Amino acid sequence: MLKNVTECNKYKNRDMSTERHEEYQYLNLLKDLLEDGKLEEGRNGKTIRGVGAAMHFSLENGKIPVFTTKKSAWKTCIKELLFFCKGQTDNKILTDQKVHIWDGNTTAEFLETRGLSHYTPGRDLGPLYSFQWFHWNAPYTGCDADYSGKGINQLQKVIDDLKNPETRNSRRHVISAWNPEQLDQGVLPPCHILFQFIVTDDKKLSCLLYQRSCDEFLGICFNCISYSALTIMIAKMCDLEPYEFIHYGGDCHIYSDHMQQCQEQISREPYPFPTLEILNKRENINEYVLEDFKLNDYQHHPQLKGAMRA
């Protein structure tokens, strides 16, 4: 078990004279892995690995955990989130926006390893996050099909219930991307598999995410931005106040060729987190566009690059 799983708000590895910064939860997690992680040979390369971690980030007053100890491509992250929020599964929609997160998973060679050679290379992702959010368990026939009204719209049900004062305090605002019946139809089984919204004090909206597989250097930075932004969006739509994003990680790992970059990153002092404004209140979540998002006061250290794994 990783040391910081029960230390998520204590930041015990740092001696700081200034106010404690929430980004140290992430930096301490990297430090724990570098010092105590176990070397493992995984599906797509060697990693140092730990099990179980938790991080809590405040979303009050527009604050959002866009990590500052390296430059985060936050617009790329928002573009992918909006892709999910439209129920889309065609990677070309992303590549046309210069988003290449899924390119390695849609090559003809990779699709063959997944038994998906009938998918169109460079395009079809299969029934992943966006599909399960909006069309849970509908028969999947390709990224060009019209799935309107098919399957279960998990996300819309949660939004409707959060808008309703009589149901917003429910403990059942849960959305799952892990569908055992369709796992082998996606280019990858989902990594961030389940999230829950909770309202406290009748107005404060929190999101809890469980992620089974955590690429700590590249992926987690994106996941924290994405689900925090989603929470802020939904709070805006439902006349609630963003309160907290909580990330639970299962298999937490650093790829062997990311270790040097992580060593550099943990040596850096974080800047204050930026704030996110949602400029428009949309009636439907699939109507949001990139121009609706304004990030303020994002100060950051230089970029640290690393190879993505398919």
Please report, for residues 2, 247, 300, the alpha-carbon distance to residue 71 in angstroms, rounded to integers and kept in the order given: 26, 20, 6
Dist CA 176 CA 137 (whole Å)? 11
Dist CA 176 CA 48 (whole Å)? 28
Catalytic residue among 143, 191, 214, 221: 191
Dist CA 264 CA 217 (whole Å)? 11
Residue 210: strand pairing partners? 194, 248
Instruction: Write the single-letter amino acid at 135.
Output: H
Dist CA 266 CA 185 (whole Å)? 38
Rounded to 5°, the CA angle 250-254-258 comes to 160
Which strand (E) or helix (H) includes residue 56?
strand 45-58
Instruction: Write the single-letter amino acid at 216.
Output: E
Here the tokens at position 224 are 């924290």
- Cβ contact 235:241 at 8 Å: yes
Is residue 191 annotated as a catalytic residue, yes or no? yes
- Cβ contact 202:182 at 8 Å: no
- How many angstroms from the chain centroid is the CA of residue 248? 11
Half-sphere exposure of 266 (CA within 13 A, CB side): 21
- Cβ contact 287:87 at 8 Å: no
Position of tokens 């060593």? 263
Residue 38: strand pairing partners? 49
- Cβ contact 182:152 at 8 Å: no
| Catalytic (active-site) positions | 191
